[in-house]
Amino acid sequence: MQQSFGKYATLTALVDQETAQQLMPEYASFQVTTGKVGSMDLKKVISSVETAAKRNGIINGEVYRETHALYHAIIEAAEGVTRGKLSVGEIMRTVGLTFSIVRGRPYTEDAEGEWIAVCFYGTIGAPIKGKEHETLGLGINHI
Amino acid sequence: MQQSFGKYATLTALVDQETAQQLMPEYASFQVTTGKVGSMDLKKVISSVETAAKRNGIINGEVYRETHALYHAIIEAAEGVTRGKLSVGEIMRTVGLTFSIVRGRPYTEDAEGEWIAVCFYGTIGAPIKGKEHETLGLGINHI
Amino acid sequence: MQQSFGKYATLTALVDQETAQQLMPEYASFQVTTGKVGSMDLKKVISSVETAAKRNGIINGEVYRETHALYHAIIEAAEGVTRGKLSVGEIMRTVGLTFSIVRGRPYTEDAEGEWIAVCFYGTIGAPIKGKEHETLGLGINHI
Amino acid sequence: MQQSFGKYATLTALVDQETAQQLMPEYASFQVTTGKVGSMDLKKVISSVETAAKRNGIINGEVYRETHALYHAIIEAAEGVTRGKLSVGEIMRTVGLTFSIVRGRPYTEDAEGEWIAVCFYGTIGAPIKGKEHETLGLGINHI
Amino acid sequence: MQQSFGKYATLTALVDQETAQQLMPEYASFQVTTGKVGSMDLKKVISSVETAAKRNGIINGEVYRETHALYHAIIEAAEGVTRGKLSVGEIMRTVGLTFSIVRGRPYTEDAEGEWIAVCFYGTIGAPIKGKEHETLGLGINHI
Amino acid sequence: MQQSFGKYATLTALVDQETAQQLMPEYASFQVTTGKVGSMDLKKVISSVETAAKRNGIINGEVYRETHALYHAIIEAAEGVTRGKLSVGEIMRTVGLTFSIVRGRPYTEDAEGEWIAVCFYGTIGAPIKGKEHETLGLGINHI
């Protein structure tokens, strides 16, 4: 059985870590970091998450395996944000996002090992304040 | 300025409507319905949301304009669920989803009118119990 | 310089061959065929165009090269019809289409040889009469 | 029943507004504007249509709802132009396009309200004059 | 530094395991299995690879982590086979494929752990013998 | 029946032309050229192959028909390399590729004429040395 660490990651990005812990206290042992990024450049969104994950010890940046797992989780979350078109500025839109990264053992079986979740929540829209709506994305991978 | 009715829809799908209302009481006036669907067939997922929306009066099924707005919101939410490949059974995976549909006026300006949000939360994976992980998607459209 | 045989194919699908010839009489030497197909099954749409092209001698069905050229022109036209999601029934929608196939020499240079154009025009929408809007697609390939 | 205002938009982009009105006089009450754009940058194509729509009063640029409806119609039309890969310069190709934007009430039922159509017609190809073929796209949305 | 176990997997699918071992003897310690599948149904292609991997002990089918790693490697290889449209029969084409699955430690650093490669080689085309051309795809994932 | 000139192109990119000729001596009459390109810019990858093909007489750059055939073969090969997302630098990754281009008559029937194959083999990954894995793509078109 899988524990809902993706829900935990989403509540953290959507509301805040405190609320996530109150609603789901059993995830206290999971590693969590959060950040914010606003850009028309998807590359900058991706590198913001990677930098936050490395600086806060969520992944070991020296190991490609961990970089690879995180990268694909970020891309999957970005698919939700961009909804079928993995582009932002190229198609004249901009994003303002809060993100959370959560790492831990969501399965009760030891052999399932560690997994990573990335959640983005924020706005997407025209590059003009207010001409935007909310957007959300969640990516999950084994690490 | 936009109110976060997408967050409200997400909390409803992720936790439940009661928790969503406690955390965001200012959305009491929005119309909400929820449902569940499990399938390898994306068509069935789409029609479950459409049926729930019509039965519960979230949209007027007689008006194509409303059907069209809802359809595109569902597809955008499904892009998040399927992360870049709008297929389920065709690529040998299955989904088990809770969904919420929220309709209301998230902008303070009257001219912005009504908008609709669809959120899916649940699992995606191999068609074998437990061989799956969480998935999430949010779609928003003007109606 | 290229002649606008894609425009000729589009006018044929959009209005009819007579109007196309009145507006663009210089294309009288191009081979043209038209047909109609309504389906939730993209496979059936593709095979209707292939069958019409073979039956009416637009392509030689014995030669893979010609089948290959036509197939890719059809798929490109279908991308316009489905707008970014090459699916119909799988995502709960249906199409009712008129199509035209045009073959000829649109370039003044002899070395450019023959090209083929496929145009679809019709409706796409919910599988309920009237719950639909127009759709269009054009594919062009060398043959 | 839907009137064919997408056909009207296509004839306008493909031939010209005068011919469109001769062939379809019943659309005289629809709002129409046209423009031209050539670029390797999809962002510039999108913003040219948005600017033309706002300057000519087709949409009210102050209302996000209208910007949102137009944006998705443009993106759908661009899917037809780029046929499955929403990129231009990034994959070493360039476009030269005429576009039309049409706004009106294509359904006989009052409740269906206003809709918007965007049509692109022109060429796509290598960034060398003559190394190109025709391309077409139509997007339709409720507004 | 990474060893070229993807090349080893490709030579195995393209020619045969014996030739692969002669050209690249240093991969003798990698686990390899091969199989064949012909279908219009992508689901059947995916499940053939999964079944071969489990039956031959390449992955432990009891552990979701391993199923998840293999699944994404298969999907990435299938993207190469289908070239941008993850569909076979739905768009009226069929595949006849040989596949190889290779598991091992391609990096010299111990921390990089095990990785898996899936390679498909064969034909794709119209569902008529001879109306087809070659196709290839390689997917790689950490496991 | 089709000869396996795609396999010949792949062996050339994967190992080298000498090995390809030893394993498949019957392809001595096919035209072959190879090259290398490393970039975060897909446009540069595409233009490197186009330039190599023109400089080495694989295609006649004066004829659009040949440019068009090569372009689509390159894009199909690039779909395999990028696996479902035709982007490199925009999503924060880089490629280092060897490519081969092969032109000839792979079918025994004269009417099938000439075809072209493009194969890429190399690495894709984070823009940091060693944080990458192998990647492969094959595109085939009639010319």
CB atoms E142 and A69 under 8 Å: yes
D127 to chain F: closest CA residue: F47
| pLDDT confidence bin for B44, thresholds 50/70/90 | very high
CB atoms E126 and C46 under 8 Å: no
Give B 1-20 residues with CB within 8 A of chain E. none
- What would the mean pLDDT of C118-127 be, rounded to a whole number? 96
**D2 has a pLDDT exceeding 70:** no
D54-67 per-residue burial string, b: 16 or more CB within 10 A, e: under 16: beeebbebebbbbb
- What would the mean pLDDT of A88-117 be, rounded to a whole number? 96
Residue-level pLDDT at C2: 59
**B2 has a pLDDT exceeding 80:** no
Instruction: Say which of D63, D109, D111 has its CB closest to residue B112.
Output: D63
Instruction: Say which of D64, D68, D86 has its CB closest to residue A91.
Output: D86
F135 to chain E: closest CA residue: E138
Residue-level pLDDT at F7: 98
- What would the mean pLDDT of F63-71 be, rounded to a whole number? 97
Q: Could you tell me if F3 and F107 are in contact, meaning their C-beta atoms sit under 8 angstroms apart?
A: yes
Residue C131 contacts by C-beta under 8 Å, 6 or more apart in sequence?
Answer: B64, B67, B68, C125
Task: Give the number of C-D residue pairs with CB atoms closer than 8 Å.
Answer: 99
Residue-level length of chain B: 143
F84 to chain D: closest CA residue: D85
Tokens 């295609």 sit on residue: F59
CB atoms E85 and D84 under 8 Å: yes
Tell me the two tokens of residue C103. Answer: 């073959």
CA distance E12 to E6: 10
Residue-level pLDDT at E88: 96
Tell me the two tokens of residue A128. Answer: 């003009």
Q: What is the mean pLDDT of chain A?
A: 96
Residue-level pLDDT at A3: 80
- Chain A environment of D43 (Cβ under 8 Å): 89-92
**A119 has a pLDDT exceeding 80:** yes
| pLDDT confidence bin for B74, thresholds 50/70/90 | very high
B142 has a chain E CB within 8 A of its CB: no
Report the half-sphere exposure of E77 (CA within 13 A, side-chain side). 32
E85 has a chain D CB within 8 A of its CB: yes
E63 has a chain A CB within 8 A of its CB: yes
pLDDT tens for B78-106 read 999 999 899 999 999 999 999 999 999 99
Residue-level pLDDT at E3: 80
- The alpha-carbon gap from A26 to the nearest alpha carbon of chain C, in Å, equals 38
Tokens 């080893």 sit on residue: E8
Q: What is the mean pLDDT of chain D?
A: 96
- What would the mean pLDDT of D109-121 be, rounded to a whole number? 97
State if pTM tops 0.95: yes
Q: Write down all domains in chain D, each with its CATH number in brackets.
A: 2-24+31-142 (3.40.1510.10)
C70-105 per-residue burial string, b: 16 or more CB within 10 A, e: under 16: bbbbbbbbbbbbbbbbbbbbbbbbbbebbbbbbbbe
Give the count of beta carbons closer than 10 Å to the beta carbon of residue A85.
18
Q: What is the mean pLDDT of chain F?
A: 96
How far lies D136's CA from each of B125, D9, F119, in Å? 38, 12, 30
Mapping DSSP to helix (H, G, I), strand (E, B) and coil, where does residue E106 land?
coil
Residue-level pLDDT at B92: 96
Residue-level pLDDT at B3: 80
CA distance D129 to C86: 31
**D21 has a pLDDT exceeding 90:** yes
How far lies F93's CA from each of A50, B83, C22, E97, F125, in Å? 13, 19, 52, 29, 5
CB atoms C85 and B75 under 8 Å: yes
- The alpha-carbon gap from E87 to the nearest alpha carbon of chain D, in Å, equals 13
| pLDDT confidence bin for A2, thresholds 50/70/90 | low
- What would the mean pLDDT of D60-78 be, rounded to a whole number? 97
| pLDDT confidence bin for A21, thresholds 50/70/90 | very high
**D1 has a pLDDT exceeding 60:** no
B110 to chain D: closest CA residue: D63
Residue-level pLDDT at F2: 60
Subunits next to A (3 or more Cβ pairs <8 Å) are: B, C, D, E, F
D125 to chain C: closest CA residue: C140
- Chain B environment of A119 (Cβ under 8 Å): 136
Q: Could you tell me if B56 and B33 are in contact, meaning their C-beta atoms sit under 8 angstroms apart?
A: yes
CB atoms C136 and D134 under 8 Å: no
ipTM of the complex: 0.97
pLDDT, mean of each 10-residue run, chain E (143 residues): 87 96 94 98 98 98 97 98 96 97 96 97 94 97 97
* Percent of chain C clearing pLDDT 90 (strictly above): 95
CB atoms E90 and B90 under 8 Å: yes
Residue C112 contacts by C-beta under 8 Å, 6 or more apart in sequence?
Answer: C105, C106, C142, F63, F64, F65
E135 has a chain F CB within 8 A of its CB: yes
Instruction: Say which of D90, D130, D132 has its CB closest to residue F90.
Output: D90
**C45 has a pLDDT exceeding 90:** yes
CA distance C14 to D15: 12
Tell me the two tokens of residue A34. Answer: 């959060």
CB atoms A91 and D67 under 8 Å: no
F70 — phi, psi (to 5°)? -65, -45
